Amino acid sequence: MIKHIVMWKLKDEAEGADRAANARKVKELLDACIGIVPGMGKFEVALAQPGLEATYDVVLYSEFADREALNGYLDHPQHVALKPFIAAVREGRQCIDYEV
C-alpha cells in the first residue's frame, strides 16, 4: 500500500477570494476525486480548524493499493484539471508518499 499525503498553505487572497473560501474550494475539488481510479482506498481532505494548531490550511490523506493506482490518480484528467487552481491559490505545498 502507498500512502499519499499532501498539505497546502494558501495565500491570504487569490483568484478573487480569501483564504477560507479558497480552502473550501480546494476541498470541494479534491473531494470530487474520491473513487476516480481503481485501487484508491481511503481519501480524506480536511481543512485547518480554528483553535487547533495548524501550519497548513488543507491536508489530503489518501491510500492506494500500489504505485500503479497512485500514478493512475496523479495522471487522471480530473486530478490534472484541478492543479491550475490549487497552484494559483497556494503559497506552499508539502508532499510525502511512502509504502507500508
Where are the domains positioned within the chain? 2-99
What digits encode the pLDDT tens for the residues 26-61?
Answer: 999 999 999 999 999 999 999 999 899 999 999 999
pLDDT of residue 21: 98
Query: Mean of the per-residue pLDDT values for the chain?
Result: 98
- Helical packing angle, 77-89 and 19-31, nearest 10°: 170
CB 64 within 8 A of CB 4: yes
Q: What strands lie across the sheet with 58-64, from one edge to the other? A: 40-47, 58-64, 2-10, 90-99
Task: Enumerate residues 6+ apart whose C-beta is below 8 A from 77.
Answer: none
Indicate whether this model's pTM tops 0.85.
yes
pLDDT of residue 60: 98
State the average pLDDT over residues 11-34.
98
State the average pLDDT over residues 10-35.
98
**What is the maximal distance between C-alpha atoms in the chain?**
41
Q: How confident is the model at residue 62 (pLDDT cuts 50, 70, 90)?
A: very high
Q: Which fold has domain 2-99?
A: Alpha-Beta Plaits (3.30.70)
Q: How confident is the model at residue 63 (pLDDT cuts 50, 70, 90)?
A: very high
